[in-house]
């Protein structure tokens, strides 16, 4: 039982004056509280859980500097199955008490609570967290709800603090004056203050579960709830959202909307999932490196949401997602329930830790990409509490952030662990890529680890060596381009995002493992992924390859066949022209036919005149010529088509009449008039051919008879 000496009366006028000034100051952050809701305290169960968290992360001091003794036994918690909002409040309260641990201990000593009262050691953590909340409420009485369950330990500590309220306020005021600070917030190290400032404005990132809902449906759902889509949510107090530039399935919300968002169905039904952006960058980098049936091995995933996101991105593939390091079988039912709710079907859990998995494990023979998310200092994270809740990091993460840095010895230990995991990942002979991602901005954990692993690769293996590859993510700003010049993807901590580092190591595929497109499609069809699609038909590219391989062997046969068809056509036309009493002139052929027939006729131009009869002409045109073969297989360029149109006027005069000279043609011309019916074609190339004058039906043509005779009949059209 706590022994209190009762309320203390102060006769010192100086202390009374200091106490009167406390009511006008916002003691915890030094900012005006106008417009902000007054804090009324937390439920008893939150204090108990926060005290247990603080007990595990508090800063231990040497025996000479110990002011307050802390017990080792945790308090009995009555709310073990609380939701995430309850856990968030507890972690935030414990982390705040941790940042001000030295100041709070000094206030307790200065106010004579210690050692004037007999306090059990196991309640010391509870006193620290409740004192922080007490001064944050400006020493106002906590408002209790009627249906709230009370805890005896909390009630005892609260009565003690209320009895020492005046002296606690005076001790706090003296502490501020000693440090020349407007509030205890300004007593914190500058790095911690900057971190808190970024955390207060950091937007919320949430990825879309495309297995349950499409992005368009999410947009429409949010718009019905009053949210507007914008390009940037920075410095906007309204209900808005934006789409991330690096990840197409990630949405961004202003930080002040957190309480409103967690209560809508999109988040309750796992259609939208809050998570740090660095994890989405990692899984999207893996997705860009995958083929359709490649498997993935995930190491140190932290949050199961990262595993689920990877599974959903590969849902349409035949890939499997292996997760290592889940040693507790008690978690299996909860994980299966979570993955079922989220629609994940291709996840397989391995019991072994990553270091203990052999590189030639038969289960991992199809693993082509390894995603490595090693435990790191997290010095790029602005809001460590949110990161703890989302990524399931251990509470040591909070201890490092409470002091604004990490010791050199601990940083070296982390870097060595990261190096060992990366080199072990590079030993998997079947893997073709390793994605290494941290939420730290320390070069010792990032560039140094990657470069060292690349430098000391095992040259004895017959497999290809890894090399550093450029980022596969889009670079959306000049700053990102500058930060990625050495092939590393970096994001510095800012008011819109946490810091992170991402590196991609790749090597060439083993030629013996190269899989054709036909094999991949066959596998997909065997697994039922290609419903109703026939695979028997060859692609255009394959047909083109086959055609190019056989074109040389079939060229002579094809050319002879074309020449024979032309000869037969000319023979028929010769017989028909002998029975005609009048010749019908036709316009020039369309461009496509002209290019084909004209090209063949142009090659015969110099051999038509010397021969007196058609049979001789046919005799000379039938044999194939090697030079003419290319005419039928090479696609003519635009300038070639223009040249091919010019010889049309002198192509076929020797074909129609068995005479060898134009004079013979004139002497045997019929005397009757020739009536021509022109169908005017559109000129294909300006100034390429003379356009004949058009005549109406029944009128004589204006051009001479020779011009009419030089046009071939159009019976083949």
Question: pLDDT tens digit string along 180-222?
Answer: 988 888 888 888 888 888 888 899 999 999 999 999 999 999 9
Measured in degrees and rounded to the nearest 5, phi and psi for residue 505 equal -110, 130
pLDDT of 583 over the 50 cut: no
Domain locations in the chain as residue ranges: 42-142+149-187, 275-509
3-state helix/strand/coil string of 230-263: CCCCCCCCCCEEEECCCCCCEEEECHHHHHHHCC
The string of pLDDT tens digits covering residues 360-387 is 888 999 999 999 999 888 888 888 888 8
pLDDT at 652: 55
The string of pLDDT tens digits covering residues 228-278 is 999 999 888 899 999 999 999 999 999 899 889 988 999 999 999 999 999
pLDDT band at 598 (very low <50, low <70, confident <90, very high): very low
> Distance between CA 500 and CA 442 in Å, rounded?
10
pLDDT of 98 over the 50 cut: yes
> Distance between CA 296 and CA 619 in Å, rounded?
70
The string of pLDDT tens digits covering residues 480-490 is 888 888 899 99
Q: Of 16-25, 335-344, 622-631, which has the strongest mean pLDDT?
A: 335-344
pLDDT of 596 over the 70 cut: no
Contact 275, 390 (CB under 8 A): yes
Token readout for 135 is 């001064």
Phi/psi region, residue 328 (left: phi>0; alpha: psi -120 to 50; beta: rest), is beta
pLDDT band at 717 (very low <50, low <70, confident <90, very high): very low
pLDDT of 306 over the 50 cut: yes
Range in 176-185, 572-581, 617-626 with the lowest mean pLDDT? 617-626
> Distance between CA 315 and CA 318 in Å, rounded?
8
Contact 129, 100 (CB under 8 A): no
- Helix (H) / strand (E) element for 549: namely helix 540-579
Q: Which residue has the higher pLDDT, 532 or 318?
A: 318
Total residue count of the chain as it appears in this document: 717
Contact 107, 172 (CB under 8 A): yes
Range in 464-473, 650-659, 692-701 with the lowest mean pLDDT? 692-701
CA distances from 365 to 324, 615, 660 (A): 15, 73, 80
Contact 682, 694 (CB under 8 A): no
pLDDT of 15 over the 70 cut: no
Our answer to whether residue 439 is catalytic in this structure is yes
Q: Tokens 């601990």 identify what position?
A: 410
Q: Is 698 exposed, middle or buried (0-12, 13-18, 19+ CB in 10 A)?
A: exposed
Cβ contacts of 67 within 8 Å, gap of 6 or more: 61, 105, 106, 108, 109, 114
The string of pLDDT tens digits covering residues 122-179 is 899 999 999 999 999 999 988 887 777 889 999 999 999 999 999 999 999 999 999 8
Measured in degrees and rounded to the nearest 5, phi and psi for residue 370 equal -115, 125
pLDDT at 708: 46
Cβ contacts of 561 within 8 Å, gap of 6 or more: none
Q: Of 14-18, 222-226, 540-544, 618-622, which has the strongest mean pLDDT?
A: 222-226
> Distance between CA 608 and CA 710 in Å, rounded?
14
pLDDT at 687: 44
pLDDT of 611 over the 70 cut: no
pLDDT at 90: 92
The string of pLDDT tens digits covering residues 460-469 is 667 789 999 9
Q: Tokens 């003794």 identify what position?
A: 69
Measured in degrees and rounded to the nearest 5, phi and psi for residue 165 equal -60, -45
pLDDT at 600: 44
pLDDT of 23 over the 90 cut: no
Mean pLDDT of 575-583: 55
pLDDT at 537: 53
pLDDT at 705: 46
| Gap between the terminal Cα atoms of the chain | 112
Q: Tokens 């590969």 identify what position?
A: 314
> Distance between CA 561 and CA 557 in Å, rounded?
6
pLDDT at 167: 93
Range in 379-383, 394-398, 572-576 with the lowest mean pLDDT? 572-576
pLDDT at 477: 83
> Distance between CA 454 and CA 127 in Å, rounded?
51
Task: Please report how many Cα atoms fall inside a 13 Å half-sphere around the Cα of residue 2, on the Cβ side.
Answer: 25
- The whole-model pTM stands at 0.67
Q: Per the residue annotation, which of 247, 324, 376, 439 is the catalytic one?
A: 439
The string of pLDDT tens digits covering residues 400-442 is 788 777 888 989 999 999 999 999 999 998 999 999 999 999 9
pLDDT at 273: 94
Q: Across the strands, what pairs with 201?
A: none
Mean pLDDT of 684-706: 46
The fold for domain 275-509 equals: Rossmann fold (3.40.50)
pLDDT at 464: 87
pLDDT band at 86 (very low <50, low <70, confident <90, very high): confident
Q: Tokens 């200065």 identify what position?
A: 110
What is the pLDDT of the chain when averaged over all its residues? 76
Portion of the chain with pLDDT greater than 90, in percent: 37
pLDDT of 522 over the 80 cut: no
pLDDT of 570 over the 60 cut: yes
> Distance between CA 158 and CA 504 in Å, rounded?
54
> Distance between CA 119 and CA 131 in Å, rounded?
14
Range in 116-120, 262-266, 465-469, 540-544 with the lowest mean pLDDT? 540-544
Q: Helix and strand tally (H, E) in the chain? A: 30, 13
Q: Of 86-95, 220-229, 651-660, 699-708, which has the strongest mean pLDDT?
A: 220-229
Mean pLDDT of 513-540: 60
Q: Of 38-47, 286-295, 600-609, 636-645, which has the strongest mean pLDDT?
A: 286-295
Contact 390, 206 (CB under 8 A): no
pLDDT at 66: 76
> Distance between CA 37 and CA 29 in Å, rounded?
14
Q: Tokens 């036994």 identify what position?
A: 73
Task: Render 64-127 in DSSP notation, one character per residue.
Answer: TT--S---SSPPPPS-TT--HHHHHHHHHHHHHHHHTHHHHHHHHHHTTHHHHS---GGGHHHH
Query: 84-99 and 101-110 are packed helices; what angle lies between their axes, rounded to 10 degrees?
Result: 70
pLDDT at 385: 87
């Amino acid at each position: 039982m706590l022994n209190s000496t009762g309320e203390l009366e102060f006769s010192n006028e100086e202390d009374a004056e200091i106490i009167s000034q406390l009511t006008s100051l916002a003691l915890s952050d030094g900012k005006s509280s106008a417009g902000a809701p007054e804090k009324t305290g937390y439920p008893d169960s939150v204090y108990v859980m926060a005290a247990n968290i603080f007990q595990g992360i508090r800063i231990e001091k040497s025996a000479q500097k110990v002011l307050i003794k802390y017990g080792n036994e945790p308090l009995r918690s009555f709310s073990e199955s609380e939701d995430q909002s309850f856990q968030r409040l507890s972690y935030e309260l414990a982390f705040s008490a941790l940042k001000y641990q030295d100041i709070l201990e000094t206030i307790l000593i200065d106010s004579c609570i210690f050692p004037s009262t007999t306090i059990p050691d196991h309640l010391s953590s509870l006193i620290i967290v409740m004192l922080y909340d007490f001064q944050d409420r400006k020493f106002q009485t906590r408002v209790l709800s009627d249906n709230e369950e009370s805890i005896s330990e909390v009630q005892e500590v609260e009565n003690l603090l209320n009895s020492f309220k005046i002296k606690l306020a005076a001790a706090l005021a003296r502490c501020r004056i000693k440090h020349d600070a407007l509030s205890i917030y300004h007593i914190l190290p500058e790095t911690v203050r900057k971190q808190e400032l970024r955390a207060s404005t950091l937007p919320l990132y949430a990825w879309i579960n495309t297995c349950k809902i499409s992005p368009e449906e999410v947009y429409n759902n949010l718009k019905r709830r009053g949210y507007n889509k914008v390009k940037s949510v920075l410095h906007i107090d309204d209900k808005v959202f934006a789409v991330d530039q690096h990840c197409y399935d990630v949405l961004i919300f202003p930080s002040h909307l957190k309480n409103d968002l967690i209560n809508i169905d999109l988040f309750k039904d796992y259609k939208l999932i809050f998570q740090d952006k660095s994890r989405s960058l990692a899984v999207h980098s893996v997705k860009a490196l995958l083929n359709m049936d490649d498997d993935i091995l995930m190491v140190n995933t932290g949050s199961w949401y990262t595993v689920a996101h990877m599974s959903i991105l590969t849902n349409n593939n035949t890939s499997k997602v292996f997760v290592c390091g889940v040693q507790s079988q008690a978690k299996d039912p909860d994980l299966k329930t979570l993955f079922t709710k989220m629609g994940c079907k291709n996840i397989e859990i391995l019991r072994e830790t990553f270091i203990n998995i052999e590189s030639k494990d038969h289960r991992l023979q199809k693993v082509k990409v390894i995603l490595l998310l090693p435990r790191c200092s997290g010095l790029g994270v602005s809001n460590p509490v949110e990161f703890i809740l989302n990524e399931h990091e251990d509470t040591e993460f909070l201890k490092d952030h409470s002091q604004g840095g990490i010791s050199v010895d601990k940083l070296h230990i982390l870097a060595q662990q990261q190096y060992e995991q990366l080199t072990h990942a590079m030993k998997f002979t079947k893997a073709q890529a390793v994605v290494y991602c941290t939420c730290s901005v320390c070069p010792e954990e990032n560039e140094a680890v990657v470069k060292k692993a690349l430098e000391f690769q095992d040259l004895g293996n017959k497999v290809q060596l890894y090399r550093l590859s450029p980022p596969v993510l889009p670079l959306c700003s000049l700053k990102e381009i500058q930060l990625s010049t050495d092939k590393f993807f970096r994001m510095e901590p800012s008011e819109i995002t946490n810091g992170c580092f991402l590196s991609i190591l790749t090597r060439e595929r083993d030629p013996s493992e190269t899989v054709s497109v036909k094999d991949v499609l066959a596998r997909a069809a065997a697994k039922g992924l290609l419903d109703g699609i026939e695979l028997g038909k060859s692609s255009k590219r394959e047909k083109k390859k086959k055609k190019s391989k056989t074109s040389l062997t079939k060229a002579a046969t094809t050319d002879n066949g074309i020449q024979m068809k032309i000869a037969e056509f000319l023979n028929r036309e010769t017989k028909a022209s002998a029975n005609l009493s009048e010749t019908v002139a036709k316009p020039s052929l369309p461009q496509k036919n002209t290019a084909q027939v004209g090209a063949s006729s142009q090659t015969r131009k110099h051999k038509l005149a010397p021969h007196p009869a058609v049979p001789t002409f046919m005799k000379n045109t039938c044999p194939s010529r090697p030079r003419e073969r290319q005419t039928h297989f090479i696609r003519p360029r635009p300038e070639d088509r223009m040249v091919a149109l010019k010889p049309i006027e002198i192509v076929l005069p020797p074909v129609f009449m068995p005479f060898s000279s134009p004079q013979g043609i004139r002497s045997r011309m019929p005397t009757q008039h020739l009536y021509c019916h022109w169908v005017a074609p559109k000129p294909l190339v300006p100034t390429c051919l003379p356009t004949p004058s058009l005549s109406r039906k029944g009128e004589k043509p204006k051009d001479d008879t020779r011009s009419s005779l030089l046009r071939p009949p159009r019976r083949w059209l």
